[in-house]
Amino acid sequence: MILRIDRLQTELPPPSDPDPAGAAAVQELLGGKFGEMSTWLNYTFQSFNFRSRQGARPFYDLLCSIATEEFGHVELVSATVNTMLTGATPIDNGRAPEAALAELKGTGNPHHFLAGGQGALPQNSQGRPWNGDYVFSSGDLIEDLTHNFFLETGARNNKLKVYEMVEHPAARALTGYLLVRGGVHQVAYARALERLTGADMMKLFPSPRIPTDRIPECQPHIQRGEHLKLYRFSENAFREVEAVFNGPHPETGEELVVAEEPHPEGAPATDLPPQPAVFAPGYAPEEIVEIAQRLRKDAGLPDEPTGEVSEHSADPFAALTRA
């Protein structure tokens, strides 16, 4: 079972100037061959299909821990795309004005507006759907771990390219975090292969040669030790990962650690405002809020919503000028 925490794994800046073209590029980190959907489902199916689970428990625990973190990365990339698309369409009296989407022709991924509510989709940067053929689960532990190491290598390569291509603050915050965390996963799989086979995978580092110590958006995470730490995403399970994830970091020489806390502290997400031009969350979003308020009252819930959102979140209807 998966326990879901209503927080992002790291803080993202609130919406600023929309960047539909940049959002299309960030989609590669979601639905591309080396995107977060691929890493998440590769490791998840490998953990589902794992045989001799008890006998090889440290390696099973490693796969489970990383797979669950990758689920959170899918959420984080999606939140970034949604942030970058916020404000790309106009708001007028809570209704979509005439030709509201006309200026978006030829900009970014039209599916963000035509097939989705101005939000992330399981597609790559070309708008092609994520493909289940990207999932590799051979059943052979060494083969799977080797595949996973190079999957993380390709993923980090893509993240650096997106960092260099897209200047939007949300994209930079995302890639800065993922470059650090992806490096942890890369080290983890290399260490697991070393423990199984004796191969000195540490000689491959850094691969690719990404200078995270010189990327400003990586610095806060490195200073907190996030480049050394593996999370289990469980209160009590998967503790045998400590038998695999240990020893010196191949680049810094610092000691690798399995976190005592089950997951990162994270940060609440920004409550993104409605985008009525694409019916998100509806043609008349204020009516949905009124219905929700009535249902909340009938259920005996507090007048104010109980969920946690970022302090950057504003009144979602402040921008709607009601007639």
Summarised one tens digit per residue, pLDDT across range 163-219 is 999 999 999 999 999 999 999 999 999 999 999 999 999 899 988 888 898 999 999
Q: What is the pTM of this model?
A: 0.93
Lowest model confidence (mean pLDDT) among 60-64, 106-110, 216-220, 227-231? 106-110
Q: Write out the DSSP string of 65-90.
A: HHHHHHHHHHHHHHHHHHHHHTTSS-
Q: Higher confidence at residue 94 or residue 19?
A: 19
78-106 average pLDDT score: 80
Q: CB-based burial of residue 113 (10 Å sphere; 0-12 exposed, 13-18 middle, 19+ buried)?
A: buried
Residue 59: closest CA among 162, 197, 264, 158: 197
Cβ–Cβ < 8 Å for 148, 190: no
Question: Using CA atoms, how far apart are residues 271 and 240, in angstroms rounded to an integer?
Answer: 38
237-250 average pLDDT score: 97
What pLDDT score does 313 carry? Answer: 83
Residues 6+ apart with CB under 8 A from 79: 8, 12, 120, 269, 270
Strand partners, 230: 258
Give me the chain's average pLDDT, please. 93
Quote the tokens at residue 262.
Answer: 């089950």
What pLDDT score does 208 carry? Answer: 87
Residue 266: closest CA among 2, 7, 5: 7
Q: Higher confidence at residue 102 or residue 131?
A: 131
Cβ–Cβ < 8 Å for 168, 19: yes
What pLDDT score does 92 carry? Answer: 64
Strand partners, 229: 257
Instruction: Tell me the helices (H) and strands (E) count for the chain, helix number first.
Output: 9, 2
What pLDDT score does 97 carry? Answer: 60
3-class secondary structure, 102: helix
